[in-house]
Amino acid sequence: MTRQKSHVVDERTRANSSFLIPNSSFLLRATALSVSAILGTVIAFIVISGVDALIKGRGLSLFGAVWNSNAGHFGILTMIQASILLAISSLCVGWCLSLGCCCVMNGLAPSFVANFLNLILTLMTAIPTVVYGFAAVFLLVPIVREALGGTGFCWLTASMILALQGVPTMTFIMDGAVRTITAETELTASALGMTRAQHLSRIVLPIARKSLISAAILGLGRAVGDALIPTMLAGNAIRFVKTPLDSMRTLTAHISLVLSSDIGGGEHLSLLLAGALLLTFCAVVSLISRRMMRRSN
């Protein structure tokens, strides 16, 4: 009797599962198609708006180096330069700091130091971006102004805060991969008589190169897409940057400032083109990262 009952229960379970699985797969497919359609609509709107801005803005004149609203010149070339310089500089600093933190958390420091650093980085992930900017205005900007000159609202200040903001995320991406590889190769490294530093530098980090690349790509995307830090700390000067102490205006800061002022005409067209350029840049970075990941395999 017990076997018959269990057999009946199993058949009912299979019947219910066969009834539920198609519905579940249908819901998943419908959700995926809906999200894809929404994202496709947003991307198409941004691209079409950018092309329309180019047409209405007299071709490539929006890519000019001159910004003079009174004379009708709305070139955003200086903002493109500022966005690229700020993103690359903050990525270089932040990625190196993240790699150092990852190494400290995985054997290059005592356990209490690694645990303390892990706690600090975890707390940093919960801090809003505006807090970073607000603290930098009253702490970092005066230091830069007194030590190096200038206004303090410059490329250097914004780059330092952007780098600091991206460190926790990149560190945890690296740390997850490094811990997994360390657990798999620790016994072999000990048998070969390797120290922790040798194990980490000669075995773990080379194997974890894909995660290191992923962390760099994510950090670059965050640096390019951040609008609040450049708006608060970069100075918002529309000009070409020559030194780290020069003020700048990035594309994201330009978008936030134009949207807040609700200005039409050429400035509005430059906003649409800036959004299309940011989308294109992120897409190119994503494609390059995927190709690099395939080659690394």
In this predicted structure, the answer to whether residue 9 has a pLDDT above a threshold of 50 is no
* Token code pair at residue 196: 């922790």
Rounded Cα–Cα distance for residues 38 and 223 (Å): 25
Of the listed ranges 57-61, 111-115, 289-293, the least confidently predicted one is: 57-61
192: Cβ contacts below 8 Å, ≥ 6 apart:
none
Q: Which residue has the higher pLDDT, 22 or 23?
A: 23
Q: Which residue has the higher pLDDT, 280 or 59?
A: 280
Average pLDDT for 263-279: 74
Q: How confident is the model at residue 65 (pLDDT cuts 50, 70, 90)?
A: confident
The per-residue pLDDT for 95 is 93
Residue with tokens 């496709």: 40
Q: Read off the pLDDT of residues 239-251 as tens digits, 9 standing for 90 and up.
A: 888 888 989 888 8
The per-residue pLDDT for 85 is 92
Q: Read off the pLDDT of residues 166-193 as tens digits, 9 standing for 90 and up.
A: 899 899 888 888 888 888 888 888 888 8
* Domain 77-296 CATH (choose: 3.40.47.10, 2.60.40.1180, 1.10.3720.10, 1.10.10.10): 1.10.3720.10
Identify the top-confidence range among 12-16, 124-128, 257-261. 124-128
Q: Read off the pLDDT of residues 103-152 as tens digits, 9 standing for 90 and up.
A: 888 878 888 888 898 899 998 888 888 899 889 999 999 999 998 888 88
Question: 224 burial class (0-12, 13-18, 19+ CB within 10 angstroms)?
Answer: buried
Q: Read off the pLDDT of residues 202-220 as tens digits, 9 standing for 90 and up.
A: 888 888 888 888 888 888 8
Q: How confident is the model at residue 264 (pLDDT cuts 50, 70, 90)?
A: low
Q: Which of 165, 137, 173 is nearest to 153 (CA)?
A: 137
**Full-model pTM:** 0.78
54: Cβ contacts below 8 Å, ≥ 6 apart:
60, 62, 273
Cα angle 221-200-212, degrees, rounded to a multiple of 5: 10
Contacts by 200-209, CB closer than 8 A, 24 or more apart: 200/103, 200/106, 200/107, 200/108, 204/106, 204/178, 205/178, 207/181, 208/174, 208/177, 208/178, 208/181, 209/296
Q: Read off the pLDDT of residues 78-111 as tens digits, 9 standing for 90 and up.
A: 888 899 999 999 999 999 999 999 888 887 888 8
Q: Read off the pLDDT of residues 220-244 as tens digits, 9 standing for 90 and up.
A: 888 888 888 999 998 888 888 888 8
Average pLDDT for 41-53: 74
Instruction: Write out the DSSP string of the chain.
Output: -HHHHHHHHHHHHHHHHHHHHHHHHHHHHHHHHHHHHHHHHHHHHHHHHHHHHHHHTTGGGGGSS-EETTTTEE--HHHHHHHHHHHHHHHHHHHHHHHHHHHIIIIIS-HHHHHHHHHHHHHHHTS-HHHHHHHHHHTHHHHHHHHH-S-S-SHHHHHHHHHHHHHHHHHHHHHHHHHHHHHHHHHHHHHTT--HHHHIIIIIHHHTHHHHHHHHHHHHHHHHH--HHHHHHSB---S---STTS-B--HHHHHHHHHHHT--THHHHHHHHHHHHHHHHHHHHHHHHHHHHHHH-
Residue with tokens 């608060």: 232
Decide if 214 contacts 99 (C-beta within 8 A): no
The per-residue pLDDT for 60 is 55
Decide if 166 contacts 124 (C-beta within 8 A): no
Rounded Cα–Cα distance for residues 76 and 270 (Å): 7
The per-residue pLDDT for 157 is 92
- Length of the chain equals 297
The per-residue pLDDT for 19 is 44
The per-residue pLDDT for 35 is 81
Rounded Cα–Cα distance for residues 154 and 121 (Å): 26
The per-residue pLDDT for 94 is 92
